[in-house]
Structure 1
Amino acid sequence: MAVIHHTTLKPAKLELLTAWLPSRPWYRGAAEPELAKAGGFRLDDPQGAVGIEFMVVTDVSGPRPVAYLVPLAYRGAPLEGAEHALVGTMEHGVLGQRWAYDGCHDPVLVAQLVALIEGRAQAQDPNVSDTPAQEIVVSRPEEGSLSTDLTVTDDREGTALTTPQGLVLRLHRPLQPAADGLFVPPQGATGHVAGSWEAPDGTRAQGVFAFLHGGSRA
Structure 2
Amino acid sequence: MALLYAAQLSPSKPELIAAWLPVAPYGPGAPVALERSGAYRFDDPAGEVGIETHLMRDADGVIYQVPLTYRSAPLDGARSVGEMEHSVLGRRYVYDATTDPVYVQQLLSTIYGGGREADQFLHVDGAEPRPIDNTTHATGSGVTGVEPPTVTDVRAVPDGTDTVIEAGGVTVVVHHRPVEIEPGGPVLLGEWDGGRGVLATLR
Coarse TM-score class (shorter-chain normalised): 0.7 to 0.9
Unaligned runs of 5+ in 1: 199-203, 214-218
Amino acid at match of 1:68: Y
Contact 2:121 2:131 in 1 (8 A): no
Tell whether 2:183 aligns with 1:193. Answer: no
Amino acid at match of 2:182: V
Q: TM-score, normalised by structure 2?
A: 0.84
Tell whether 2:194 aligns with 1:207. Answer: no
Question: In the TM superposition, what whole-angstrom CA distance separates every residue of 1:157-207 from its partner, at most 9, and x where no partner exists?
Answer: 311112475x4211100123x4xxxx621x4x2x11111223xxxxx1110
Amino acid at match of 1:172: H
Distance 2:9 2:167 in 1: 36
Question: Equivalent residue for 1:73?
Answer: 69
Question: Equivalent residue for 2:57?
Answer: 58
Amino acid at match of 2:200: A
- Offset at 1:6? 2.1
- Offset at 1:127? 7.0
Local SS of the residue matching 1:72: strand
- Offset at 1:126? 5.6
1:96 pairs with 77, 90, 95, which one? Answer: 90
Distance 1:164 1:119 in 2: 16
Q: Identity percentage over the alignment? A: 36
By percentage of residues, which structure has more strand? 2
Within-5 A mapping of 1:102-113:
102-113=96-107
Alpha-carbon distance change, 72 to 23 in structure 1, aligned in 2, over 3 angstroms: same
Local SS of the residue matching 1:118: helix
Within-5 A mapping of 1:1-218:
1-28=1-28, 31-60=30-59, 64-82=60-78, 85-119=79-113, 122-125=116-119, 133=134, 135-147=137-149, 148=151, 149-163=153-167, 165=169, 167-176=170-179, 178=180, 184-185=182-183, 187=184, 189=185, 191-198=186-193, 204-213=194-203
- Offset at 1:25? 3.3
**RMSD of aligned C-alpha atoms?**
2.4
Deviates more, 1:7-16 or 1:128-137: 128-137
Local SS of the residue matching 1:3: strand
Distance 1:115 1:164 in 2: 11
Contact 1:138 1:193 in 2 (8 A): yes
Question: In the TM superposition, what whole-angstrom CA distance separates every residue of 1:80-127 from its partner, at most 9, and x where no partner exists?
Answer: 232xx1101111111111111001111111111111112285412467
Unaligned runs of 5+ in 2: 123-129
Distance 1:56 1:146 in 2: 25
Contact 1:112 1:121 in 2 (8 A): no
Q: TM-score, normalised by structure 1?
A: 0.79
- Offset at 1:42? 0.6
Alpha-carbon distance change, 164 to 110 in structure 1, aligned in 2, over 3 angstroms: closer
Alpha-carbon distance change, 110 to 38 in structure 1, aligned in 2, over 3 angstroms: same
Distance 2:50 2:112 in 1: 20
